[in-house]
Amino acid sequence: MEPVPVLLAMTYRALGDQFHDRLRQIGLEPLRPAHGYVFRFLEEKRATTVDIGQHLGVTKQAAAKIANELDEWGYVLKEPHPTDKRAQYVTLTTKGRDYLKLADNLWSDLEAEMAEAIGADTLATVKQGLAAYLRHVRGEDRPGLRPIW
């Protein structure tokens, strides 16, 4: 059997692939995992493209490209920064918040399918174990979801 980190990575990839397949079936824009990280980052706040780039671990130009795509599709609103003429704030729109609700529902559906595949008790044990490990490594400080590229 594969080591735990490999199994976790493969499971994360399988779930992500299923998630994006369902987005395509619904007919949404060609959203990529990087977009999802931006949605979650902006869920509670507005941010500049520099902030987004730092969060994603990409250049300001790459972050601006992602923000422009999300703006063109109506998921975010870009507003002038009040003190920095070169910067813009990026904020989720109603469509962006609705997408987060849809994403949460899709993730719940995938989790239910996983429970069917491995058993609800097993899934509950896996979730408890992973949460305990995160508390062990990070304490109660739960950093935001970030890509690992």
Instruction: Indicate the CATH number for domain 4-138.
Output: 1.10.10.10
- Give the pLDDT confidence score for residue 149 in this predicted structure: 62
Fill in the amino acid letter for 27.
G
Number of residues that this document lists for the chain: 149
pLDDT per position as a tens digit, 30-45: 899 899 999 999 998 9
User: Using CA atoms, how far apart are residues 75 and 69, in angstroms rounded to an integer?
Assistant: 9
pTM summary value: 0.86
Cα 104 to the center of its chain, rounded Å: 10
